[in-house]
Structures are given as C-alpha cells and as structure tokens.
Amino acid sequence: MRRVVVLGLVVLAMAASLPVGAQDPIVESARKEGRFTWYTSMNIDDSQPLLDAFRKKYPFIKPELWRGSSEKVLNKIQTETRAGKFFFDVVAVNAFEAGFIKANKLAQPYLPPSAKAYRKGFVDPEGYWVDIYDNYFVLGYNTKLVAKAEAPKSWDDLLDPKWKGKFAMDPEDHPWYLALQDAWGREKAEKYGRALAGQTIQWRKGHTLIAQLLTAGEFPLGLVYAHRIEELKQKGAPVEWVTTTDPIPAELHPILIAAKAQNVNAAKLFVEFIASREGQAMIKAFGRIPAHPELELGWSVNPKQLKLQGVGVVGPDRASQVIKDWRDIFRPTGL
Amino acid sequence: MNRQLDARVLVLPGAVLLVAYLTVVPLGMLVYGSFRSGAVGEPGATYTLANYARAYLDPALYRLFLNSIVYAAGTCLVSFLIGAYLAWVTERTNTPLRGLITVVALVPFIIPGILNTISWLFLLSPRIGLINLLVRDTLGLTAGPFNVYTLGGMIWVEATHLYPLVFLLMAAAFRSMDMSLEEASIIAGSRTFTTLRRVTLPLMRPAMMSTMLIMFVRAIESFEVPALIGIPAGMPVFTSKIFLAIHQFPSDFGLAGSYAITLLLLSTTGVLIYRRITRHGERFATITGKGYRPRVIDLGRWRYLACGGAMLIFVVTVALPVFVLLWVSVTPYYGVPSRELLQRATLEAYRYVLNYPMALQAFTNSFYLAAGSATAVMLLTSVVAWITVKSKIPGRALLDNLAFIPIAFPGIVLGVSLIWVTLALMPVIYGTFWLLLIAYITRFMPYGIRTASASMIQINDELEEAALACGSSWRQAFQRIILPLLMPGFVAGWIYVSIVSLRELSSSILLYSPQSIVLSILAFDMWEGGQYNYVAALGAMMVLLLVLMAAVARRLGAKVGLVQ
C-alpha cells in the first residue's frame, strides 16, 4: 500500500515538474529572453501588481516598468526611436496615442488568444492591439443638489436653460466629442457642441478634480468617469451617474507590442496575460472597467444595457481634427 | 605664486565650462528645434520660420502676454511683501518666536503646487470654500465674499506658494547686514522705520532685485495655478499657449520652443537690469573688515505687534491650507467639514501611501537627489558668482546670464533635449540617478546663481585682498573667507534647491527609470490615478519631513554661519 502511495506521489511529482506549456515555443523563447520592458500610462499601484502576478506565473522573466501620462509615453517613445534606441517591448496608452503608435509603424501585429472573446470595437481588426480597460464618459450628479427624477436623462437634456453654468467638463475631453461625432456625424455633433458651449460650461482641469468638486457640491453636474463615481458611491459620497445617455463614450486603453521589440516573446506572454480573464479580473479589482466582456462589474446597472460607443484608436489625422474641432467649438482655455 | 594660480586655473575655467555645457546644450536644442518644421531627428524636417510666424502673428498672444505680466507682477509684489516682512522680523528684530517663524515660513513651499492650489479651491471657492462659508454664516450674508476664480485669486494662491523663497533670500541678505550703518542713521535722529526705508532697504537692493526677478519669471512660467484656477476664471495666460502646444497631437515642440524663447528674452532682460543696478557693487558691500557685527534692532513694544503680524500670516497662509490637507487625507471623499464626515475619518490613506510600490526607493532617491543637486548647485554657483561679481574677467556678464537661462526652459523641453543628448553622448547614464542629477542641476542653477550673486555683492573685496596680501592662495581665501561669509546665502539657496528638487516633476518624468524613481513622480501618479486623499496624505507627510529637515538645517546653518 505504501508503495502504491509512494509510486503515486512520484508520478504526481513528475507530472508537476513538467514545465507549464513545455510545448509552447513562445514560452521557451521568452525564457531565453528573460526580461521585457513595459511603458504604460496605467498608474504604478495598478501596473506593478499586474507585473508581480505575471512574474509568479513566469518566474524566469523579469519585467521592467516605466509609467507616465499617455502623452509623455508617446514623447519618450518618439524621442528614443528617433535617436535609434528601442528600449520598450510593450506599450499601453490612451486610444489617441495608440493610434499614433500604430500609424507611425512603431508597433507590430499580435493578437493574444484571449482576444477572441472580445466584443467588436475592442480589438483591432488589423491585429495590432487589444483593449485592456475603458473609461466610460458619463454624466455625474451630486445627489444633494439634484434629485434623481430631476437629473438629465440624455445629452440633449443638458441644453435645458436650468443647467446653465451648472455643468463641469475637462478642457481636454476630446474622446467624448469624438464619440459624439462617430455616433451622430460631424455636423450634428458640432450643432450640439455649439449649443452646449452656450451653456457657460464650468471648466476644471482634471477628471479627478471634477469628481472631487462634484462630490463637494461646487457644481451639480459634471462629465466624469463612471468607475470613479462608483468608487465614491461605495465610500458613501453623495454622487450618482446617468445610465441613459446615448452614446456613452468608452475610451479604450489598448496594449501594443513594439515594432522593434527586443523581447518579443516575453511581450506576447504579457499581452496574453493582461487580456486573459485572470489579468482582467485584477484590473477590475483595481476599480477599473475591464475590456473583457465576460466579467461582471458588480454595479447596479449591467454594462450590457448601456449604449456604449468604443472610442477608437484613430489615426493622427483624425485625432488632430477632433482636437481642432473641439478647441474651435468649446474654447475651453479661453483661447 | 604657482600654487596660487593652480586652483584658479583649474576651478574657474572648470566652472565656466560646466555651466556652459549644462545650459548651452539644451538651449541649442531649444533654439534649433524652434527653427525646424518637425521634431528633432524627424526625417524630412527642414529649416523654417513657420513656428515663429504661428507663435507671434497670433493676435491672442499679446493679450495673453499682458495677462501674464499683470499676474506675474501681482504675484511678485504680494509674495515679496509677505516674504520680506517675515525675513526682516526674524533676522533683524527681537520679535518673540523667531525660530518658529523661520521653520513655518518654509511650509507652503513643500506642499506640492497642485495640492496647494486645490487646498485654496476648497478654502475660497464661492460655493464650497470654507472661508466663504465661515464668513457667510458669521455675518449672515447670502453668499461668501471671496471668489478664487479671479485674477486676484490666482495672484493670491501663487504668492502664498512662492513667498518662502523671498523669505529665504531676504533673510540671508538681512543676516549679512552690518549694524553700524543703521546705528549711524539712528544716532543722526532717524526713527526705526525711516532707517529701514532710507538705509536698510537701499542696501538690500541686489537681494531684492534678485528675488523679484526670480518671482516674476517663476510666476510667468507657473503652471498649476493658471491651469486649475485660470481656466475656470477664463484668464488664459502665456503658459496656456505652451501647454496647448505640448498637448497638440503629437506634441509640437517647435511651437513650444518659439514661445520659450520669449521667456528667455524676458529673463535675460531681467539679468541685464540687475547687472546695471548692481554695477557699483562696492556700494552694497555690508560685510567689511571694520568690526562687522550683524545684530538685531530692539523694537520695544512694537515687537508683539510684529509677532502678531507674522502669526496672522501663518494662520491664513499655512495653517488653513495644511488643515485642508489633513482633513482631506483622513476623509474618504471631500466634503465640507461636518460631524457626519468626521465619523468616517480613517488613517487608511497614510497606510496606503506607506505601502505604495517603490515608495522606499523613491524616498531614498529623492533624498539623495535633493541633497546632491543642492550641494552641487550652490558650490558651482558660488564660484560662478565670484567670477561675475568679484573678478574682472571679460565676458562675466554673459556667464551670469548663461547660468540664469534654464529658468526659461519648460521642464518637458529640457527633458526631451536631455534624452537626446544623453542617448547621443552618454547612453550609459540613460535612466540612471545621474541623469536626473544633471537635469536638476541644470534646472535649479538659476536660483543658485541669484542667491550666490546677491550674497557675494555684500562681501567687501578688502577681506579677500587682506588674505591674499598675507600670502594665502586664492583657494584658501575662497575656502576660508568667502565661503564662510557666504554661508547665510549658501544655506538659503541650498534649502531652496533641495526643496524644489523634491518637487520637480516635468523633467523627471521623462528621465526616470524604476531604479531612479522619485517622490514627485509617485505623488503625480496617485493624483492621476484619481486618489486625492492619498496625495493629501503624502503632502501632509512631506510637510512633517520638511519641518524636521528645516529645523536640522537651521541648526547646522547657525553652526557654520556667522556665529563663530
């Protein structure tokens, strides 16, 4: 009997010692590379744990992290690339910057196996990127100042004279406007934009600040991120967001592999990890909105019922055009 | 004789070359970039004047520039009055609580700009500002009297953030002031305040000019206040244009560069005016060989009033913002202070900050960088100041100007140009601690040079001449006469540079790597991650650290200063 147990244990031990995915050539090549570098706009207390979890899975790969806001990531990549240096293997930034990276041939095509589960619009049809998390641009309101029945139901409701001077936005809400253009066409979006601009918008720099001031009651309405409001709600703050606006722009945050990646296989493993249910569950745990469609968010509203509009990865020309239109219509900085 | 020449031959050209290298390289990049149609290194870019045409043919620019000038002049004036008053009270009078005033006067400075600005929003916003609510409810008004979203609000917030620098520079200048001149005035029958107006302040002119110049340029190039208060107030300023150029898609460094050239011309003009005013340096020399005694004035009963004034300044400019900071750091979300919210108070934010990834690494790096860049900047600028003030070397005015140039670089432009230069010349230091050190030395040299130059003017040549006549070498004279006499200014500059180094973000962000991460990057990271109470907790800890550091530095400064 003991012998059987021992034999069983030996067999088990042998089975366990077989390296995971020993058949997988990507893993084998990644083992040889032994490292990769990730440039990201995701803040450190989210991105570092992701790398730590990845390392638990592949202890033979040592990841390196560099974090800055999307535009800084882009400036760094461009400057390094022009100087003929290729330090980064993977990059995750906002949709506009991702579009620029793709258009300027700074990325190479790769879609991880997990991407098959993703909705249309959240994966690049040309195979260069997959989305990892989203910011939903929604209408937030302070429940002490606005009763639920009173709150606007649609974007058009914002044009009601009673909201004049009561609605706050960030001077760089270009993705929101891009979604309106995509949904309504450029002309209708402009007409709406000009009408809204006539409502004496309260400009405040930074979505964090807008959410804070909204909570404090400096203004009753603001354009905010849905997950931020959900987080504040959980802490007991007097805020809520409108689920019925059409569209609800969802700004993507794609991940791409560098065209000249030195550690392309390690990079592929990481992209798969972050796009998989496991990585996406972590992203959800950070309070972000994962791109993976099969994860429940635990909100009072199911995202499937929202009129989401993925704000895509557009080329630099379109991005510049949107920014130009936006500045022309809204003049957020008074310029 | 040979030995005497050695140090001079080595140190002086060495310092000049270093200053030239640190400033001319990024300056060259800036100017070159402003004449190119594409970013540096972009294939297909050509020489062009288009950037200048776009920048200066824009009619809006002149309105913005006017806004900027008004805003900067206002900030300069308010911060100067507050800072100089505090400096005079602590250094030249027998007001009680002087030691406390010295430490507290530095606090607004350590609070990161973004936090300071937001604290003021929570204090002076028309709807939710605590001060407004208090005044409204006490006096039974319908609305609070203040509105932070105005030009006046912008000036106030920026000035409360900048006055510690005025305090530092002016305190150093007052400290190196000989009592005998004032005594003469008092014996001749002048009252204390007449003496202040007719003797003390004119002697302070180099320090005042230096300080005002820095204040003015700092206010012109400031970013947080114009972004967080100027945008809602509908008061766009000159830097808004640079910001928009950087936030073009992709960033338009050519345009940003051509705007930065304006700043450069402005600061150069300032330096030239300063040099004209202080041309007859000997008139301002207050440290002479004739029984030099810095001492305090007995204000008599007025001293309690002077102390009360300082305390009032602190309650308004330090206690209130710090209170907001603490309040935000212990509440789960911001709300006007109430019992209900107080019951939800938690120290979770502090726990979170202490457990933040890389926090310890960032703290260590920041500490070494702050101390390293402050020491390097002050040593370098002391030598440069000696050249520009004491020597007769031709071209010294140019050197003074060179060392001041970096004040006009937008941080991100400096960051990008340093990436370039490093990758081209020394790829081995890319992403290391040393690259950040170079960036900081470059960025903060202007503050060092103004402090050192203003202090150097106060030292009469005869002391150094006496040493040389007694057979000491130039190095010995510099080390044993000039540096000790410079100490008050040196320490003031050192404290300033170390604090701004702790806060530096815009260049650091492009140059750091996980090994060389610094505190300001983590703070910004938390801010962008949308966790305001965490940033507030970090700010509160920074205030505590600063108070400790300032107390220690003051002890040391007093030891090596003029107490011997």
pLDDT in tens, A65-79: 999 888 889 989 988
Distance between CA atoms of B438 and B484, rounded to whole angstroms?
Answer: 26
CA distance B334 to chain A (A): 6
Report the pLDDT averaged over residues B265-289.
Answer: 79
CB within 8 Å: A335 and B241: yes
Cα end-to-end distance, chain B, whole Å:
30
Flag the least confident range among B295-304, B497-506, B515-524: B295-304
**pLDDT at position B563:** 36
What percent helix, strand, coil does chain B show, rounded to 5? 75, 0, 25
Phi and psi at residue A96, to the nearest 5° = -60, -50
pLDDT for residue B183 is more than 60: yes
pLDDT band at A187 (very low <50, low <70, confident <90, very high): very high
Phi and psi at residue A322, to the nearest 5° = -60, -45
Amino acid at site B137: D
pLDDT band at B526 (very low <50, low <70, confident <90, very high): confident
CA neighbor of B271 nearest in space, from B321, B206, B331, B227: B206
In DSSP terms, A203 is beta-bridged to A169
Say if A76 is an interface residue toward chain B (CB within 8 Å).
yes
Count Cα neighbours of B290 within 13 Å in the Cβ-side half-sphere: 6
**pLDDT at position A6:** 57
pLDDT for residue B297 is more than 80: no
Distance between CA atoms of B532 and B523, rounded to whole angstroms?
Answer: 10
pLDDT in tens, B80-135: 999 999 998 888 888 888 878 887 888 888 887 888 898 999 999 998 999 999 99
DSSP state of B47: B
Provide the token pair at B34. Answer: 């402003």
Distance between CA atoms of B196 and A21, rounded to whole angstroms?
Answer: 82
Phi and psi at residue A263, to the nearest 5° = -125, 65
Report chain B residues whose CB lies below 8 A from the CB of A320. 248-249
CA distance A76 to chain B (A): 6
Q: Please write down the HEC assignment for all residues of B250-267.
A: CCCHHHHHHHHHHHHHHH
Report the pLDDT averaged over residues B314-323.
Answer: 92
Q: Quote the distance between the C-alpha of residue A44 and its chain's center.
A: 15
Distance between CA atoms of B555 and B559, rounded to whole angstroms?
Answer: 6
pLDDT for residue A7 is more than 60: no
**pLDDT at position B558:** 60
CB within 8 Å: A48 and B423: no
Q: List, as ranges, residues 165-204 from A with C-beta within 8 Å of B.
A: 171-172, 202-204
Flag the least confident range among A290-304, B175-189, B264-278, B546-560: B546-560
CA neighbor of B553 nearest in space, from B323, B370, B365: B370
- Better-scored residue on pLDDT, B59 or A270: A270
CB within 8 Å: B122 and A78: no
Q: Are A102 and A70 in contact (CB under 8 A)?
A: no
The torsion angle over the Cα atoms of residues B166, B171, B176 and B177, rounded to 10 degrees, is 90
Amino acid at site B424: A
pLDDT for residue B561 is more than 50: no
**pLDDT at position B198:** 85
Task: Give residue for tokens 């006009």.
Answer: B408
Average pLDDT, chain B: 85
**pLDDT at position B143:** 83
Q: Are B321 and B110 in contact (CB under 8 A)?
A: no
Beta-carbon count within 10 A of A233 CB: 18
Report the pLDDT averaged over residues B405-415.
Answer: 82
Count Cα neighbours of A234 within 13 Å in the Cβ-side half-sphere: 9
pLDDT in tens, B440-489: 999 999 999 988 988 888 888 888 888 888 988 888 888 888 888 888 88
- Better-scored residue on pLDDT, B142 or A103: A103
Report chain B residues whose CB lies below 8 A from the CB of A169. none
pLDDT in tens, A27-49: 999 999 999 999 999 989 899 99
**pLDDT at position B105:** 85
Provide the token pair at A131. Answer: 């989305």
With residue B350 as reference, give the H or E element that holds it. helix B348-354
Q: Quote the distance between the C-alpha of residue A19 and its chain's center.
A: 33
Say if A218 is an interface residue toward chain B (CB within 8 Å).
yes
Flag the least confident range among B101-105, B178-182, B551-555: B551-555
Q: List, as ranges, residues 6-45 from B with C-beta within 8 Å of A.
A: 39-42
CB within 8 Å: A65 and B64: no
- Better-scored residue on pLDDT, B412 or B133: B133
CB within 8 Å: B526 and A43: yes
CB within 8 Å: A208 and B532: yes
CB within 8 Å: A65 and B250: no
Q: Are A216 and B334 in contact (CB under 8 A)?
A: yes
Say if A145 is an interface residue toward chain B (CB within 8 Å).
no
**pLDDT at position A193:** 97
CA neighbor of B255 nearest in space, from B508, B25, B43, B49: B49
Beta-carbon count within 10 A of B11 CB: 16
**pLDDT at position A229:** 94
**pLDDT at position B381:** 93
CB within 8 Å: A236 and B344: yes
Distance between CA atoms of B441 and A332, rounded to whole angstroms?
Answer: 36
Distance between CA atoms of B463 and B14, rounded to whole angstroms?
Answer: 25
Distance between CA atoms of B246 and B410, rounded to whole angstroms?
Answer: 10
Count Cα neighbours of B452 within 13 Å in the Cβ-side half-sphere: 31
Beta-carbon count within 10 A of A162 CB: 8
pLDDT band at A8 (very low <50, low <70, confident <90, very high): low
- Strand pairing class (A167-169; A202-203): parallel
Task: Determine what percent of chain B is predicted with pLDDT higher than 90.
Answer: 24
Helices (H) and strands (E) in chain B, counts: 30, 0
CB within 8 Å: B514 and A64: yes
Say if B525 is an interface residue toward chain A (CB within 8 Å).
yes
- Better-scored residue on pLDDT, B346 or A24: B346
Distance between CA atoms of B527 and B119, rounded to whole angstroms?
Answer: 14
pLDDT in tens, B365-398: 998 999 999 999 999 999 999 888 888 887 788 8
Amino acid at site A273: F
Count Cα neighbours of B219 within 13 Å in the Cβ-side half-sphere: 34
pLDDT band at B250 (very low <50, low <70, confident <90, very high): confident
CA neighbor of A288 nearest in space, from A42, A94, A73, A72: A42
